[in-house]
Structure 1
Amino acid sequence: MNELFSGDNKIIAFVILGAILMLVMALTLILFFYFSRRKIIQKELEKKTLELDHQKGILKATIVAQEAERYRIAQDLHDAISAKLNVVSLSANFLLEEDNVTPQETEEIINHILRVTNKTIESSRKIAHNLLPPILEKFGLGAALEELCDEFSNSKKVNVTSKIKYKIGRLPADDELHVFRIVQELMNNSMRHGKSKEIELNFKSEIEKIFLYYKDDGLGFNTTTIDLQKGLGLRNIESRVSLLNGKITFKSEKLKGVEVKITI
């Protein structure tokens, strides 16, 4: 009888031990999943924070670029338009207010007014062209990029080789302007900062994606410190690529030029 009870006690002890082990395993699993889930949530929060910081940086760069563009336009209007119109106004008032003006002087002043007026019209056309190139609006992005490449090549300061395959209307008008400004900014950077002599541009549109490859032979920069070296131009390019929901990568070394790949 004692042996039976002893056997039952052993069974009960094993059951209790098994239950305790199961409980410990359950608690271990619960704690594992809890901390794993907590870690995942923390990682997601960190990712969201980085994304928000990136978006804030892009927004800030966009605002700064817009303000810089407004300042440039204001300067152009002041220097190229207002100053010339003031000259026209002063000359016209002189003719109206002065009584002792000879016919020869009158003719000279009128000719001067006409010359200044023609220069003002030309300046206003250039400002309008910089704001929105007419060829972009009339013939689309492909033609506008070809004209831009020709303009830089015709300057004789740099040689631009381009391959452009773009279907008209592939992008909305606003997005086409973003792409045009990106290429324009890249070329300006190559000329001003990179001192480039050769530029290569490949631009093609496919059914699902648009690819832009840009390369120059300029001074280049250290890509490991690119975040520290980013000026307004590069930040402006990145903000425009972000607005296009695209991706951009830079490849460069000192004295070995720059390669830029953009996928939209």
Structure 2
Amino acid sequence: MERWQKEKNIKGLAQEAAILAEIGRIISSTLNIEEVYERFAREVKKLIPFDRIAINLIDSERKTIRSPYESGLTIPGRRIGSVFPLENSFNEKVMLARSGVVFNPRSEKAFDRRFFHLKPVFQAGIRSYMGAPLISRDQVIGTLQFRSKKPGVYKRWDIKRAERIAHQIAGAIANAQLFLNLKKMQKALRGSERQLRFLSSHLLSAQESERRRISRELHDDLGQALTLLKFQFGFVEKRLPVEMTALRQECEQAQKNIEEIIENVRRLSRDLRPSILEDFGLEAALKRLVQDFSKLYQLRASLSLEALHHLTSPQKEVMVYRILQEALTNVGKHAQATQVSIQVKKKGGSLRFIVEDDGRGFSPRRNGQDSSSSVGLGFATITERTRLLGGKIKIQSEEGKGTRLILMVPIENER
């Protein structure tokens, strides 16, 4: 009985690791945080029970709380965008603690002296409250709130999970705020190109920093934990009597499942921050990118490239890599292609990158729009990175005849 319980616990940890990895992938997939919240909440509910979930952001100057996202049980007077005082609130308690906090009131009298803004929530049927701080760059920018109708539902392990999940999404929220600030700047400062470029560069740098952090956590924490789980299953299997065939097979299958999860975690870690780019340069990183893309999307992918050593700065190599990564992701997700080719060669004082697929294509100038504005956020990000590189980009496509992306990047350090 104890052995079965141990195996059940190990499987639960493996499942938790996989869900946390998926949360990491979701929150780093876009700068539009509105696209993240619903998918984020669905994955979180697999780990932490709740009847209501909310993300509250703190305005330190105005001493207020604003809720950009909430889901679940409807509370009178509570809706997305609502603003409440920070003082003497449960959010303030979490902010000052800088750690997870649980509150289990037994009656309405519990709100007479503190957290009186939560009384309508209690009256709506909520009996368990848990909050975790959203910390970005060592500053509490908000809280992640969980509510349940069941009394005393949140335990010590729920607090730890909530803190870890809050830590994951805090960076994405901070980056999204930068993204919103960028859009406001675009409207208010159309004549100030220099300031827009600075903000764009800062935003992309912040995103790269967040990718590095999540990648490191996936590799160091989840990767090592899953490897340990695999060894534990192997140890259990070896100690089982030979006649317990079914259980031995179950252990063997569990090891295979964990190995698949480990491989997925490694792939996600590489996608977020490929160490090969820093260690061996753009040429090696592009080869690995194409190999991983072909394996993930089951497409035929060919790569033709010239030597790329020392032709541009490491910072620009990262941006070139992200452009090609985004271009291939668009092909894999949207093009319905069977094959894609990537060509990289020097042309004059520039590097020319060509990504061409045989997919369904699209009409880049439909309704009078140019190619960069009519194909979505992915290409908008590509265009912005290209502008920061001082390069040029051209998208050629026709419905039913595939798509061709041409990127020209100035060579800086030719030797």
User: Normalising by the residue count of structure 2, what TM-score does the alignment of the two structures yield?
Assistant: 0.38
User: Deviations for 1:227-250, whole angstroms, at most 9, x for unmatched residues?
Assistant: 553322111111111121100011
Q: Does 1:231 align with 2:372?
A: no
Q: 1:109-124 counterparts in 2 under 5 A?
A: none
Secondary structure of the 2:356 match is: strand
Kindly tell me the number of residue pairs found equivalent between the two proteins.
197
Q: Does 1:187 align with 2:328?
A: yes
Q: 1:1-264 counterparts in 2 under 5 A?
A: 52=192, 56=196, 63=203, 70=210, 125-155=266-296, 157-205=298-346, 208-224=349-365, 225=369, 226-264=371-409
- CA distance in structure 2 between the aligned counterparts of 1:122 and 1:74, rounded to whole angstroms: 16
Q: Which has the higher contact order (CA 8 A, sep 6+)?
A: 1
- CA distance in structure 2 between the aligned counterparts of 1:64 and 1:160, rounded to whole angstroms: 28
User: Deviations for 1:55-85, whole angstroms, at most 9, x for unmatched residues?
Assistant: 849956984896699599769969x968x97
Largest Rg, 1 or 2: 1
Secondary structure of the 1:241 match is: helix
* Code of the aligned partner of 2:292: E
C-alpha contact (below 8 Å) 1:133/1:144 kept by paired residues: yes
* Code of the aligned partner of 1:262: L
* Code of the aligned partner of 1:236: T
User: Deviations for 1:139-197, whole angstroms, at most 9, x for unmatched residues?
Assistant: 21111111211222234621112211133121111111111111111110011111111
Give the deviation of 1:206 after TM superposition.
Answer: 5.0
Secondary structure of the 2:361 match is: coil
Q: 1:163 to 1:81 in 2, by over 3 A?
A: same
- Hey, which of these two has a bigger chunk of strand by percent? 2
* Code of the aligned partner of 1:143: A
C-alpha contact (below 8 Å) 2:356/2:402 kept by paired residues: yes
User: Normalising by the residue count of structure 1, what TM-score does the alignment of the two structures yield?
Assistant: 0.57
C-alpha contact (below 8 Å) 1:61/1:239 kept by paired residues: no
* Code of the aligned partner of 1:130: D
Query: Structure 2 stretches of 5 or more lacking a match?
Result: 1-188, 229-238, 241-246, 410-415
- CA distance in structure 2 between the aligned counterparts of 1:167 and 1:68, rounded to whole angstroms: 22
Give the deviation of 1:130 after TM superposition.
Answer: 2.5
Secondary structure of the 1:229 match is: coil
- CA distance in structure 1 between the aligned counterparts of 2:358 and 2:262, rounded to whole angstroms: 37
C-alpha contact (below 8 Å) 1:248/1:260 kept by paired residues: yes
* Code of the aligned partner of 2:394: T
C-alpha contact (below 8 Å) 2:216/2:269 kept by paired residues: no
C-alpha contact (below 8 Å) 2:211/2:272 kept by paired residues: no
Q: 1:156 to 1:185 in 2, by over 3 A?
A: closer
- CA distance in structure 2 between the aligned counterparts of 1:54 and 1:181, rounded to whole angstroms: 23
C-alpha contact (below 8 Å) 2:297/2:332 kept by paired residues: no
Percent identity, please.
25
Query: Structure 1 stretches of 5 or more lacking a match?
Result: 1-48, 89-102
Secondary structure of the 2:387 match is: helix
Secondary structure of the 1:189 match is: helix
